[in-house]
């Protein structure tokens, strides 16, 4: 698993909204401030809006705002909104047998399950507000 640029950019969008929460922020203004295209902004904000991490109001005075306080939005929330569930090992995701033909009692599988759980706990425990 690798953290993609899209995750980093989505985090930056939410950080920007947290810093400028006094009013809704226009998409072109956010895009310019972050040095990204408006098309990329729209592509990334759509899944964030679907997950309730930000809101979008249309119209002349419309724009983006956080969907909930930044201390309630975790890195894991952003990751899953943009990229889906993070998996370090494909066999953990779909329940297939390990490459050695076993599942129950496989030491590698058990170890990687622990790593997977620890990774999710770490990502879930880090709110966006702490990253600003």
> In CATH, what number is assigned to the domain containing residue 124?
1.10.10.10
What is the per-residue pLDDT for 51?
A: 96
| Separation CA 132–CA 123 (nearest Å) | 15
Q: How far is CA 81 from the centre of its chain?
A: 5
- Answer for the pair 7, 83: CB distance below 8 angstroms, yes or no: yes
What is the per-residue pLDDT for 102?
A: 59
Most confident of 41-55, 85-99, 101-115: 41-55
Domain count of the chain? Answer: 1
Give the residue numbers spanning the domain of 36: 5-131
> Dihedral angle at the C-alpha atoms of 78, 67, 36, 88, nearest 10 degrees?
0
Residue 9 clears pLDDT 90, i.e. is over it? yes
Provide the whole-model pTM: 0.84
């Amino acid at each position: 698993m690798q953290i993609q640029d899209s995750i980093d950019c989505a985090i930056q969008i939410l950080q920007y909204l947290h810093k400028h929460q006094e009013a809704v922020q226009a998409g072109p203004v956010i895009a310019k401030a972050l040095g990204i295209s408006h098309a990329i902004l729209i592509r990334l904000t759509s899944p964030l809006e679907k997950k309730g991490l930000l809101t979008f109001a249309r119209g002349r005075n419309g724009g983006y705002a956080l969907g909930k306080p930044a201390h309630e939005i975790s890195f894991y929330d952003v990751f899953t909104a943009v990229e889906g569930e993070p998996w370090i090992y494909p066999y953990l995701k779909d329940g297939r047998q390990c490459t050695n033909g076993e599942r129950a009692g496989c030491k590698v599988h058990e170890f990687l399950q622990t790593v997977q759980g620890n990774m999710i706990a770490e990502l879930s425990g880090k709110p966006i507000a702490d990253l600003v």
